[in-house]
A and B are shown apart, each in its own frame.
Chain A
Amino acid sequence: MGIIRLRRTAAIAGAAIGALLLAPSLGGQVVVGQQTKGTAPTVSTPLATSDENSSGSWAALAMGNLDQPLNTFWQLFFRPSGGSRWSDVVEGTAVATNGGLVLATPEGGSLLVGVLPSNLLHFSPLLSTADGGRTFTPALVLTNGLAARPNALSGGANGHDLALVGSGTSTQVLQTAPGLNSWQNLVSESHLASSAGGRSCGLVSITAVAEVANQAVLGATCSDRSAVGILAMRNASWRLVGPMLPHSLDSKSVEVLGLRESGDGLTTLLAVSDGSEVSILGAWASAGLAHWTISSAIRFGAGDRVVSFGPGAGLGWFVLAAKPSGSKSLEVLASTGSWTELPTPPAQAATVSFGPANSVDVLGVSGTLLTDWKLVSSRWTKSQVITVPIQYGSSG
C-alpha cells in the first residue's frame, strides 16, 4: 500500500516537476518569438558638436572604443582663429571624460567646459580656458550632474552662467553670477511645467539653456502640436516666447534641439515629430524675441540618426546624419532659411566645424585617430590626422 502511494505521489511529483520545468521556458519562448517592430525615427541629442568664438574653433568628440563606456574618452580639439590645424588640448582637463563634454562659449573668447558624470563620479566638474586650452581653471562645481544635452551649459555675458542639471524629475536649471560661491536654482522642470508657458505648450522636458541680453531663455520638448517650447521670464512668470509652427507641419511633439544667442536675438534648431517621421528646421528671432523667421524643413525617416548638430555659418546650423546603411549626409541651414546638402561626408564623420571665410571641416573619428577633411572644390580633402594618446583602461 505504501509503495502504491509512493508511486502515485512520485507520478504526481514528476508531472509537477515537468510542468514547473516547462512553464518558464515556454513563457520565455513568446518573448523570443516576437517580431521586431520597425524602428521609429529618432532624434537623439548627440553631444558631439563644435563651436566657435573669437579665439578659434572648438570641437568635442567621443574617441576610443565607443562600444565600452569606460573606454570611451571625450576629446576636446581647438583650432586657433586664423589657423588651419587642430590640436588636442584635453590633457589639462585633469578629469576622466568618459561621460561626455558640454561646451559653452561666453563672450570674450573663453571656453567653458562641463564634464558629464561617469562611473562613480556623480557631479560635474566645470573648467574654463581663455588661452586655447593651454591652461584650464576650475569653475564652480555642479553638485548635480549636467544633463547630457549639447546646450546644457551657457556662458552668458559678465560671468552669468546657466546650467541644465539632473535627469527625470530632478531636472532643474541653475544659475550663477560673479561673486556667488555656488550655483542657485533658477527653475525646476516640474515648476516650469506648471508655469503658464509650460502648461500652454504641454512641456515634457527641458532640453537647452541660453542667455539672451542677460536673460535666461530655456528650450524644451512640448507635446502641443504647434507650440515651440522656448520660454523666458515675462512679468514674473515663465511664458512661451517661441514661434508658432505652420499648420503644414503636422506634429505630435516639438523639441528644441539647439539654442544659442545671436547678438540680442536667438537662433534655434527644432525637431518636429509626427510619429513616423521627424522634420528638422531652424528659427531666428531678433531682439526682444517678438518676431520669428522659420526655415524650411528637412525630413528624416525611420532608421536615420542625427550624429551631430551645431552652429553653421552666421545664424545657421548644420545637421550631420547617418542613414541605416551607415552612409552620412550633411545638411546646412543658411541664414536665408533654406537647407543645402553638402557633398557626402566620409563615413567616419563625427562632427562639422565652420571656420572663417566659409571654410568647412569634417572631423572624423576612428579609435584614437582624428581626421580632418576640408571641403575644397566640392570635395572632401584630408588635411590632418591626429593620434590621440588615449589611455585605455584608465577609468575602470
Chain B
Amino acid sequence: MPGMSSGLQTNNPTIVSAFQSLLLHQGLLVLVILALLAIAWNVLRAAQLRRTMASGDGSPAESTTPIPDAPARRLLRVSFGVIWIFDGVLQGQASMPLGMTTQVIQPTAASSPTWVQHVVNAVATIWSNHPITAPASAVWIQVGIGAWLLVAPHGKLSRLGGIVSAGWGIVVWIFGESFGGIFAPGLTWLFGAPGAVLFYSFAGLLIALPERYWESPRLGRSILSVMGLFFCGMAVLQAWPGRGFWQGHLPHSTTPGTLTAMVLQMSQTPQPGYLASWVGSFASFDAAHGWGVNLFAVICLGAIGLCFLAGRACIVGAAVITGIILCLADWVLIEDFGFFGGVGTDPNSMLPMVLVFSAGYLALTRVPLAAEEPSRVIAFPQPARSLKERLTENPTYAFRSLACIGAIGIVLLGAAPIASASLDPNADPIVAQAIDGTPSAENIPAPAFDLVDQRGQTVSLTSLRGKTIALTFLDPVCVSDCPLIAQEFRAADGLLGASARSIELVAIVANPIYRAQDYTVAFDNQEGLEHLSNWLFLTGSAAALGRIWDAYGFQVEYSPGGSMIAHSELAFVIDRNGHTRYILDTDPGPGTEATKSSFAVTLANELRSVQRSG
C-alpha cells in the first residue's frame, strides 16, 4: 500500500545474509591465500635446508642479525596494526551495510558545510549503491593493513605499510568522518576532534619514515612538539566562551549544555547497562558542575600541551602519565568507548592519541641500541645480495616477506571489488530485493484491458501484442510511492537503451476519482514522462478500471482521515504473446537514489530476460 512502505531497516535479513555470505566467501579466499603462502614457505624452507646441507653446516643459514626495531616505532606499528584489525572486525557488524551511510556518514556530515557534504556524498553514494561489496571491502582492507603492519617490522615493505595505513586513514577521515568534523560547529577534543583516523594517518606517516630517523631523540621531540601544539590548541578551543562547554545546562533552563547533551546522547547508545550507567552519571555530574569540568579539562589540556612542548624527558614523562589517565577517563566517560551501538567503526580518538604521544615519549627516551652504542657492530643484510638469495638464506626474512605478501593480498582482496563496483553508477539489485523480495516467475495469460492513454488514444493488451510490457498501476494524485515508481520505470527505460524500442511501459490509473485524462497528463508532466515515447498512462471509466484491478488481483480502497487512496504496489512483466512472466512487488521503500536505481536495474533485467526468451 502506498505510504505504508516497509522501509529498509539496518538489520534487513536479505542484506545481512548476503553480506555475511560474501564475507564468508572472501574469508575462504583469504584461507586460499594463506594456504598458497604456506606452500611457498615450505618450498623456500626446503631450499634453505638443501642449501644448508650442501654447505655442510648443520644449522640453517643466519647470515644477518635482525635490525633492532625502535621501541617507539614498534609501539606504533603493533598497536595500530591491532587497531586496524579491530576496526576491520567492527566493519563486519551486521548493521554496517545499511547503517554506515544513514547512521554514521550522513549524520556526521549533516552539520558540516555544504561542500563537505558534497565530497562525502560521493562515497556515501557508492556505499549505498553497493551495500554488500563496500563494507566487505572495508573489512578486508583494514584487516589487511593491520596484518601488514604486524608482520613487517622493518624494511621497505614495512614503510610501505605505513604509507598505505596513512593513505587509507585519510580516505576514512575525509569520507567516513567528514574531515573529523573540523568544519562543523561544536568541535571539541573531549569528543574526538580532529577525528580518530587522523592519528592513524599520523602514525602511518611516522612508520613510513626511514628507519634512521628513529635513531635519534629528535624525532621524539618533533612528535611531542606536534602533540603539544595540538593539546594547547584544543585547550584554547575548550576555553573559548560562548560554545556551551562552560555550562552544565543553559542559564535559566533545563536545556543541557553542549558537553552534557553530547554525553547524554552517548548514554542512549545500546551497550551494557553498567557502561550506560557510568556515562549517564558523568552527564549528571557535568550538568551540575559544568564549569568545573570544563576548567579541569582546559587546565589539563593546556598543561599537557606545554609539558610536551618543553621536551624534557622528566616533564614529558609526567605529562604522558597524566595524558594517559585523562584520555582513558575521556574514552570511558565521554566517548563511551566509541564502538558500541552496532555501527561503531573504531574505538574513537583517545587510544590512538595515547599511542602517538607515548610513541613520541619512547622515541625521545628509548632510542635503539645502535644509536646509543654506535660502537656495537650490527650485521645488516648485505645490500649486494639478490632477493632470491635473501629469501633462500634467511628464514625470518623469507617468512616475513611471505606474510607481508599475504597481508597485501588481503588488502587487494578488499580493494579490487569496491574499485570495480565504484565504476558502476547503478545500484545492485540486492537493494530492491531487500525491500520487495525476488520477482516471482509466472507464465499465465495476462488479463485483457481496453483503455485510453494520456493522448486520448485507445490502447488494449491486444494492440500491444509483439511488444514486451512492463505494466503497473499508479494513482495520479499519490503523494509518495507512485511518483517514485514512475521514476523507477523511467530509469529502467534509460537502462534498456536501444532495446526499449520494443518495450512498452504501461501504467493504469489506480484512483476511482482522479481518473480523468487531465490528471494522467498532469502526473506525466510532474514526473517528466511526457516525452517518453513508450510510456502509456491508461484510464477509463470507474467500472472498466474496477474490472481490470480485479482481474490483476490489484486492490484499491478509500483511506480514512485525509489519506490518499490505498492500493497494492505491483508490476507485471508481460511477454510479446500477452503472457505474464514476472510479477514484481514495487514498494519503493525509502525512495532513496539507491533504492530507485536498484529497482530500475531489477525491472530492466527482467524485461531483457523476457525479451530474450521470446
Give me the interface of A with B, judged by CB distance under 8 Å: 2-4, 6-7, 10-11, 13-15, 17-22, 24-26, 28-29, 31-33, 63-64, 73-75, 88, 90-98, 115, 118-123, 125, 127, 136-138, 140-141, 143, 181-182, 368, 388-391, 393-396
Q: When the two chains form their complex, are residues B229 and A18 in contact, meaning their CB atoms are under 8 A apart?
A: yes
A3-B210 Cα distance, complex, nearest whole Å? 11
In the complex, which residues of chain A have a beta carbon less than 8 angstroms from the beta carbon of B512? 94
Tell me if B564 and A24 are in contact (CB < 8 A): no
B295 contacts the other chain (CB 8 A): no
Contact assessment for B522 and A17 in the assembled complex, using a CB-CB cutoff below 8 Å: no
The answer on a CB contact under 8 Å between B561 and A94 is no
Q: Chain A interface: which of B96-104, B385-393, B478-486?
A: B478-486
B193 at the interface (CB under 8 A from A): yes
Q: Judging by beta carbons under 8 Å apart, are A26 and B240 in contact?
A: yes
Q: Within 8 Å CB of A394, what residues of B?
A: 2-4, 559, 563-564, 566
Shortest 4 CB-CB contacts between residues of A and residues of B: A18-B233, A14-B229, A73-B562, A28-B185
A115 proximity list for chain B (CB < 8 A):
477
Of B34-42, B216-224, B331-339, the segment with at least 4 beta carbons within 8 Å of chain A is B216-224
Given A7-B218, A10-B225, A13-B226: A120 and B483 interface contact (C-beta under 8 Å): yes
Q: A7 vs B278: C-alpha distance in the bound complex, in angstroms?
A: 41
Beyond the given A138-B515, A395-B563, please list 9 additional residue pairs across the A-B interface where CB-CB is below 8 A. Answer: A21-B182, A91-B559, A92-B558, A93-B562, A95-B514, A96-B564, A125-B477, A125-B519, A388-B561
Closest CB in chain B relative to A139 CB, distance in Å:
9
Q: How far is A75 from B564 in the complex, measured between Cα atoms in Å? A: 13
Q: Do B226 and A121 touch (CB < 8 A)?
A: no
Q: Is the beta-carbon distance between A393 and B3 smaller than 8 angstroms?
A: yes
B229 touches A141 (CB 8 A): no
A287 to B241, CA, bound (A): 66
Chain B residues closer than 8 Å to A143, beta-carbon distance: 522, 525
Shortest CB-to-CB span from A264 to chain B, Å, is 33
Q: How far is the CA of A93 from the CA of B563 in the complex (A)?
A: 9
Contact B240–A17 (Cβ < 8 Å): no
Which residues of chain B in 511-566 are interfacial with respect to chain A, using CB atoms and an 8 Å cutoff? Answer: 511-516, 518-519, 522, 525-526, 558-566
* Residue B369, interface by CB 8 Å: no
> What residues of chain B lie closer than 8 Å to A88, measured between beta carbons?
561
30 A-B residue contacts at CB 8 Å? A6-B218, A7-B221, A7-B222, A11-B225, A14-B227, A18-B230, A20-B182, A21-B237, A25-B185, A25-B186, A25-B237, A25-B243, A29-B241, A29-B242, A33-B242, A63-B562, A93-B513, A94-B477, A95-B514, A95-B564, A119-B479, A120-B483, A125-B477, A138-B519, A141-B519, A389-B561, A390-B560, A391-B563, A393-B3, A394-B4
| CB–CB B560/A389 < 8 A | yes
What is the distance, in angstroms, from B542's C-beta to the closest C-beta of chain A? 11
What is the interface residue range for chain B against chain A?
Answer: 35 or more
Name, among A14, A123, A136, A181, the residue most crowded by chain B CB atoms within 10 Å (CB to CB).
A14
CA distance A29 to B237 in the complex (A): 11
List the A residue with the shortest CB-CB distance to B244: A32
A134 to B134, CA, bound (A): 55
Within the complex, the shortest CB–CB distance from A119 to chain B, in Å, comes to 4
For A11, the closest partner residue in chain B by CB is B225
C-alpha gap A125/B513 in the complex (Å): 10
Q: Is the CB of A6 within 8 A of B219?
A: yes
Number of A-B contacts (CB under 8 A): 192
Task: Please tell me if B459 contacts chain A, counting CB pairs below 8 Å.
Answer: no
Given contacts A28-B185, A73-B562, contact A21 B194 (CB under 8 A): yes
- The answer to whether B33 has its CB under 8 Å from any CB of chain A is no
Q: Distance in Å from the Cβ of A174 to the closest Cβ of chain B?
A: 13
Chain B residue at minimum C-beta to C-beta distance from A14: B229
Contact A21:B477 (CB < 8 A) given known A11-B225, A29-B242, A395-B564? no
Contact of A22 among B237, B244, B477 (CB under 8 A): B237
Tell me the nearest residue of chain B to A33, going by C-beta: B242
Nearest residue (CB) in B for A30 is B242
B233-A22 in contact (CB<8A): yes
Q: Which residues of A contact B230 (CB under 8 A)?
A: 14, 17-18
Q: Are A21 and B187 in contact (CB under 8 A)?
A: yes
Distance in angstroms from B170 CB to nearest chain A CB is: 14
Contact of A18 among B232, B484, B513 (CB under 8 A): B232
Docked-complex contact A17 and B560, CB < 8 angstroms: no
Nearest opposing residue in chain B for A99, CB measure: B479
Query: How distant is A4 from chain B, measured CB to nearest CB, in Å?
Result: 7
**A residues near B3, Cβ cutoff 8 Å:** 96, 393-396
Write the chain B residue with the least CB distance to A13. B226
Q: Which residue of the partner chain A has the closest CB to B111?
A: A28
B215 nearest CB neighbor, chain A only = A3
Chain B residues lying within 8 Å of A2, measured Cβ to Cβ, are 213
0 or 1 for each of B173-210: is its CB under 8 Å from A? (1 = yes): 00000000011111100000110000000000000000
B residues 557-600 touching A (CB-CB < 8 Å): 558-566
Interface centre among A17, A64, A127, A137 (most CB of B within 10 A): A17
State A326–B568 Cα separation when bound (angstroms): 43
- A168 and B219 alpha carbons, distance in the complex (Å): 62
| Contact yes or no, B243 A15, CB < 8 A | no
Residue of A nearest to B558 (CB): A91
| Cβ-neighbour of B560 out of A15, A33, A391, A393 (below 8 A) | A391
CA distance A11 to B218 in the complex (A): 13
Q: Are B513 and A6 in contact (CB under 8 A)?
A: no
The minimal Cβ–Cβ distance linking B212 to chain A, given in whole angstroms, is: 9
Query: CA A138 – CA B216 in complex, angstroms?
Result: 85
Q: Could you say which of A6, A25, A94 contacts B187, with CB atoms under 8 Å apart? A: A25
Q: Which residues of B contact A137 (CB under 8 A)?
A: 513
**Chain A residues with Cβ under 8 A from B511's Cβ?**
94-95
- Picked from B225, B229, B234, B483, the residue with its CB within 8 Å of the CB of A121 is B483
Known contacts being A182-B518, A394-B4, A396-B3, is A118 close to B563, with CB within 8 Å? no
A21 touches B193 (CB 8 A): yes
Q: In chain A, what residue has the closest Cβ to B194?
A: A21
Which of A4, A64, A127, A396 has the most chain B CB atoms inside 10 A of its CB? A396
Q: Cα distance A88–B228 when bound, in Å?
A: 70
* B226-277, CB < 8 A from A: 226-230, 232-234, 236-237, 240-244
Alpha-carbon gap, A11 to B515, bound state (A): 72
Q: How far is the CA of A159 from the CA of B218 in the complex (A)?
A: 90
Interchain CA distance A342-B219 in the complex, whole Å: 82
The 8 Å CB contact of A24, one of B182, B229, B516, is B182
